[in-house]
Each structure stands twice: as structure tokens, then as C-alpha cells.
Structure 1
Amino acid sequence: MRKMLSVMMAAAIAGSLLAGCSSSKTETTTAASSAEETTTAAEETTTEAASESAAENTGDGTVVRVGGLKGPTTMGLVKLMDEAANGESENSYEFTMVTAADEMTAMVAGGKVDIALLPANVASVLYNKTNKNISVIDINTLGVLYFVSADSSVTTIDQLKGKTVYLPGKGTTPEYALRYVLSAAGLGEDDVTLEFKSEASEVASVLAEDPNAIGLLPQPFVTAALAQNEKLSIIMDLTKEWDNVQSEGSGSRLVTGVTIVNNDFLKEHEDLVDTFLQEHEASIAFTAEDPDAAAELIAKAEIVAKAPVAKKALPYCNITFISGDEMKTALSGYLQALYDQNPASVGGELPDDGFYYVK
């Protein structure tokens, strides 16, 4: 089962990782190594936070096993991780952090984690491949894609007409998100040339050589590119542009990461899942309210190597907490946009209402 899932979801995972703010194990100036390089190390860190006091709070001593990728989806989790380690959380937790998305999806499929933080479209693929045995409980990260250029005259999507945009990964979620926004803004495939590179670092190289080039990059590659070339700047935020092209009442958002739960665990321990949601929301709020302390915890958790790098990246990683009906509306609209361009990117078919945990 694990091997089959890894093969079937390889394309979806690769595309999602390019859209994410992957962890940096070096200084910002070297963060623009390929997304593949930063996610194939398969490094795993497990923290047992089943303190005696926390176990008492769960009533039956159940340990909630939480897994995630080292990146923005878990940056908002660090306060909860710290509280759990100190016996201050309501639930008892065991946290597992990995750098390879296929490893985490295999853990979900194999029942080795109860809750996991994953790329949004990968969650949809898992739903279809696990006989609908997972549910999304929150959105933890919105879009992390930015237009970067030395040409500051381009500030709106319609000004991309007649220009070339360089981006990594043909047939991945960044491409689908960009094409969706371009189409919604009235620009056809012939109006904007998309030039694909195999790695984000190659896009950064083009930007360094051509001051008029426009690149679409995810964090942390944006931070790295700006650090290496002071002439470059962020000229547009694709997440904001996505919001700008929505019709009134649409509610669709550009989503990077979601939190999912194993449905067997949900049925048996819904109270623990609801408590996790409360603690996750509070942890994410802490990340926004105290970025200095959050950056220290992010470095402590080895999600990003150094606290200053984490602090610099935090404002651009769009860490958020969205649940309930708002989550369903935002995520279903995003998945619809992906499905319309490539059904395989969401697992072949759109998830039904059972995919969304709405109380």
C-alpha cells in the first residue's frame, strides 16, 4: 500500500512542494537549492510530548500522534510543540517532522499518525486513495508564491501581457495557480509566455542575469534571491492576486497547507481532535503575535536552521488558521481550480462533502 501510494502521488507531491516554503538547513543565501534536494533527505525527528500531566488531561491517556513537513505548515505548530514538551498542553502529543512528503503520506496511509499537516492537493489525493479515510480539519497555510523582478513597473496581473514569466516545475500547482489567475484576469495562454525551469534556483539565476526578467518563486527562494541581488524586489503576491479575481461571495483562496485527521481516530476521539484544533489555533496566533519567540522555537524544532532566517521568512509564509465552513469554501474553490486544469493533481476527482470536517 505504501509503495503504491508513493508512486501514484509522486507528481502531486512534487508540485505541492514547489509551492511550499520548504525548510532551510543552511543560511538564507544557500536556501535556493532545488526543492528536490531539500525534500529528499527523508530526515525524521520525533518528539514524545506525552507528559504525565498532559496524559491526565486526555482522560484515557491517549497520545495524539501528529506528523508534518518541515516548512510553513509546521511553523505555526511550534508553540504547541513546546507546551506539550513542558506538560502544558491539554492533549498528550507525539510529534514527527519529516522533510520528504512521500514519507509523511505513507505514514498517514499506514496509520502511523493520527493528524498530519500536508500540501492541500496531496490531502485530496490521499482522500481518494485511502477510501475516504481522512478529513481536513483546518487550513494552516495560504499561498507562498511571489512575483520577483528588478522591473518595478509591473505591479498588476494585466501588465504581464506580452511578457515572460519564469517559474519552476511544469505540471505542478504553481503553474496551475498562475494559469488560473491569468485566465480570470482575461489573459489567454498566448498573452503571457511561461518559461519553466527544473529548479527554483535556476529561476533565481535568470533573475540575476536579466534585470527585466520576471520570476514566480516560493519562499524561501524569494528571500534567498532578494538577499543575493539588491536590485530585485517582490512586485506582486500571487495570493492577493488570486483573491482579486474572485467573484463576490466566492470565498476561494490560494491554499498551500492543510491539517488532516485519520477518520478512525476522529470517530473514536473527536474530543481530542477538537482540543487539538483549539490548541493549534492558539499556537498559530502566537506565531503572528510574537515572531521573535516563534522564530526561536522554529529553530529549536529544526524546521529552519537559524532563528533570524525564520523571522525573516515568517511574514511571507502566510501561516493561518481557517476551519469550518470558511475552510470548506476556501479549499473546495482551490481544488476546483486545480481539477479544471489537471484532475490528477487532486487525485482524479474532487472530494465530496465528507472530506471537510465542519461542525
Structure 2
Amino acid sequence: MTRRTLRTFSAAVAATAAIALALTGCSSNSAGGGGEAGGESAGAVRMGTQPWLGYGQWYVAEDQGYFADNTVDVKLSSFNADADVNAALAANKLDMANVGAQAALQFMEQGVDVSIVLLLDSATEADAILSSEKIGSVKELKCKSVAFEKGATSEILLAEALDDNGMSFDDVKVIESSADKVTPMVLAGRVDAGVTYEPYVSEAIAADKGVRALVTAGDYPGLITDVLVVRNDFLDKHPDEVRSVIQSWDDAVAFTAEDPAKGREIIAKGVGSNVADLESAFDGVHYYTLAENRELLTGEYLTETLPALVTVAKRIGLIEGDVDAKRAIRSEYLS
């Protein structure tokens, strides 16, 4: 099989934007309208998200009224696949979106005018390569079928695990699948292994069908991070709304730190699961505060982590050209 070629958003948008919008499930209780990005009034800020724990603080912000407290109206729309939320953002159907850092780099290479404004989370145990317990190592995946979503954090994790073992995608049978479909495929034995994230990792292990986490993101610290990207036209015309959104995230992180039980309950409900099934998964996610963002987005994440991710993404063909990681971040909204 050939090495994975670059995903081009320009081609994907036309084909998937309509599907993305059909999959949208609006969870906001706000009454405001969804004004066009870049207008005189922002209206409801259109944010794309997914049922992933790392984005869960937005559910806390909504539940606890932090958006209202910070005088911003946010409409949360949930998508099941990275490709769908990416397409909606590229097609200007969203003002901002929660994405893996590698997706932000892809946007920039493909000319989608967005910037990273907030580091949301990093995963340790919450992203994993799932396999049968009969598979004892990554090397044993050679010539085996592995399901994962191309262009997503799952591809990054698999790429690093394979490379660490002297292998590449050429050594496995790649099966394309959205993250929510991976666990059922692994449990049914339709593939030998799969890469996904929580809550799907916990669901696979809890099924007690001999599936385990062969590799987790914790084996590669700092590799899997998620960010909030915002269209630059929206950033330039609505800076106060962006700052209010960021402050609402920080308020939610603080609430969850003070009352973990309640915060986790809200997040679990938001991603369609329950706390009991996600107890260990929560321990595998770190939520970044505003203070941490001020330090990292002007320091280590800017100068080391993101450039390292560019190197990985280029090696596996997620991006092909030069992407200036330092220009990807706009930290002035963290004030």
C-alpha cells in the first residue's frame, strides 16, 4: 500500500460540508441567532466540537452559565468526525472549532485563514491503539488491519508508534474509519487493531472481550494536544467575544478543579456517556488553564511542541509544505 497522501481541505469541503451540517447537534440553550462571522454583530458565536473529553469544559461553561456571565452567546454544534467539523469551519459555517493541533496546521497549509488562540488539553491515557490481547507489541501489527481516522490525532499516534518500532503505514493494512466506528470494529473482530480516543477507549475495554490498550498517548508525552482555532476574520472583528469565550473556558476549568465530581458529571453527559465508565479516562486528560496558556503559547508549546508536531505531520504526509508554527498562534487574546 502507498504512503498516505495529503488530505486537501479544498476538495473535502464541497463534498462534506452538507454532511457536516446534517450531523450537527446544537446543545446550546442560548436564544441568540447565529449571525454571519465578520458581521457588525457577532450574534451567537458558532463553535464546532465533538464528543471528546478534552472539549468537555465547554459543556461545563454552558451548564454553569459562564458564557452568559462573560456576556457572550455561544452556540455549540457537535460533530462525530474530525473531517466534518473541519469542513464546516473551512466552509465558514463555524466561527471557531475545537480540533487536534495537526488539523490546525493542515488548515493553515491549505489556506484556511485561522489561528490557534487557546491550548485546550493534552492526552496521556485518553488516546490509544486498541488491539486484541493476542497482539503483544506494535511490531506484531505488521500486515495486520488497523482502523483509524486519517488526518486526526489517531493518525499521529499510530505514526509515532510505528516509527518507534522501525515501521511505517506501508507495514499495516490501513482501514479508514471515524473514531466513533473504531471500537465496534475492533470488538467485532473486523479489524485487528484500531486507534481512537475516549469515551470509545473505555467502552472497548469495559466490553470485556479481550481488547486492551496496546499503546497510549502517554507513551509519547505532548504529542496529542487539542486547540481552539478561530477564523481570522472573526478574530479581527470580534476580539471581545473571543476573549469572553476563552475566559469562559478558564472559569469552567476552575469549576471542575474545585468540584471534580460535578464537573465530570456534566462532561460525561455532554459526550454521551457516564462518569463510571470514564473514571480512568478523565485521569488521562489535562485541561489547560488560562495561566498555563499564557506561559505555553508564548513559550515551550510555541517554540518546541508545535514545531515538533510539524515535523511528524510532514513525515507522514499530513502536510507537505512549510508551515511556520510560530505564526500559527495568536496569543493576544489571552490577556
TM-score > 0.5 by shorter chain: yes
Q: Structure 1 residues 129 and 207, CA, compared in 2 at 3 Å: closer, same or farther?
A: closer
Letter matched to residue 259 of structure 1: L
Q: 1:291 to 1:307 in 2, by over 3 A?
A: farther
Q: Is the 8 A contact 1:136 1:356 kept in 2?
A: yes
Residue 335 of structure 1 aligns with an amino acid whose one-letter code is V
- Name the structure 1 match of 2:4: none
User: AA paired with 2:263?
Assistant: A
Q: How large is the Cα RMSD of the aligned pairs? A: 4.1
1:62 to 1:234, Cα distance in 2 relative to 1, 3 A: same
CA displacement, residues 73-121 of structure 1 (integer Å, 9 cap, x when unaligned)? 431211211233784x213122221325455334433544433212333
Could you say which residue in structure 1 is the equivalent of 2:271? 304
Q: 1:140 aligns with which of 106, 114, 120?
A: 120
**Number of paired residues?**
297
Matches within 5 A, 1:21-36: none
Show the counterpart of 1:28: none
Find the aligned partners of 2:14 and 2:322 in 1 and give their Cα distance: 17
Residue by residue over 1:103-148, the C-alpha shift from the partner in whole angstroms, topping out at 9 and shown as x without a partner, is: 53344335444332123333223223445x2110122233442244
Alignment of 1:313-328 (within 5 A): 314-315=281-282, 318-321=285-288, 323=293, 324-325=297-298, 326-328=300-302
Inter-partner Cα distance in structure 1 for 2:109 and 2:251? 31
% identity of equivalent residues: 18
Partner of 2:239: 270
Change (3 A) 1:348 1:313: farther
Take 1:97 and 1:105, find their aligned partners in 2: how far apart are those partners?
12
**8 Å contact from structure 1 (residues 166, 216) kept in 2:** no
Q: Write the deviation string for residues 245-296 of structure 1: whole angstroms up to 9, x where unpaired.
A: xxxxxxxx22253101222232234344234323213323434553432243
| Structure 1 residues 177 and 306: CA distance shift in structure 2, 3 A | closer
Distance 1:112 1:341, change over 3 A: closer
User: 1: CA distance between counterparts of 2:319 and 2:243?
Assistant: 26
**2:160 is matched with which residue: 171, 174, 180?**
180
Secondary structure of 2:331 counterpart: coil
TM-score by length of 1: 0.65
1:279 equivalenced with 2:258 (yes/no): no
2:305 — aligned with what?
330
Q: Is the 8 A contact 2:21 2:88 kept in 1?
A: no
Relative to structure 1, the CA distance from residue 82 to residue 357 in structure 2 (aligned partners, 3 Å threshold; closer, same or farther) is same
**Alpha-carbon distance in structure 1 between the residues aligned to 2:286 and 2:51:** 10
Q: Which amino acid is the alignment partner of residue 77 of structure 2?
A: M
User: Does the 8 A contact of 1:46 with 1:94 survive in 2?
Assistant: no
- The equivalent residue for 2:147 is 168
Distance 1:236 1:102 in 2: 24
Residue 16 of structure 1 corresponds to none
Alignment-derived partner of residue 250 in structure 1 = none
**1:219 and 1:317 in contact (8 A); partners too:** no
Using the alignment, how far apart are the partners of 2:150 and 2:97 within structure 1?
A: 25
Deviation at 1:298, TM superposition (A): 3.2
Letter in 1 for 2:265: E
> CA separation of 1:109/1:188 partners in 2, compared to 1, >3 Å: closer, same or farther?
closer
1:161, 1:76 → 2: CA distance? 37
Q: Is the 8 A contact 1:117 1:260 kept in 2?
A: yes
Residue 45 of structure 1 deviates from its aligned partner by 0.6
TM-score (norm 2): 0.69
